[in-house]
Amino acid sequence: MPKSHTIDKAGIASVMEASVHLLESDLTGTGAAHGDLYLSFVPDEEIGLLGVRTMDMARFPVDYAYTLDSCELGEIVEATFNAGHAHIEITGVTAHPMNAKGNLVNPILLAQDFIAQLDHTQTPENAEGREGYLWVNGSSGNQARATLDISIRDHERTGYEAKKDLLRSIAEKLADTNPRATITLDITDVYSNIEDAKTPDNQQATDRLLATMKNLGVEPLPLAMRGGTDGSWLSAQGIFTPNFFTGAHNFHSIYEFLPMPSFEKSCLMVQELMKHEG
Mean model confidence pLDDT for the chain: 89
Q: Model-level pTM?
A: 0.85
CA separation for the pair 277, 183 (Å, rounded): 56
User: What distances in angstroms separate CA 195 from CA 122, 227, 233, 241, one per listed residue?
Assistant: 23, 13, 12, 9
Region 36-46 average pLDDT: 76
Contacts of 100 (CB under 8 A, 6+ apart): none
What's the DSSP call for residue 137? Answer: E
Side chain identity, residue 103? N
pLDDT, position 54: 76
pLDDT digits (tens, 9 = 90+) for 144-177: 999 999 999 999 999 999 999 999 999 999 999 9
Answer whether 68's CB lies under 8 Å from 244's CB: yes
pLDDT, position 6: 43
CA separation for the pair 21, 147 (Å, rounded): 53
Task: Considering only CA atoms, give the Rg of the chain.
Answer: 23
Nearest to 269 by CA among 205, 203, 224: 205
pLDDT digits (tens, 9 = 90+) for 71-128: 899 999 999 999 999 999 999 999 999 999 999 999 999 999 999 999 999 999 999 9
CA separation for the pair 129, 242 (Å, rounded): 18
Helix %, strand %, coil % for the chain, to 5?
40, 20, 40
pLDDT digits (tens, 9 = 90+) for 200-222: 999 999 999 999 999 999 999 99
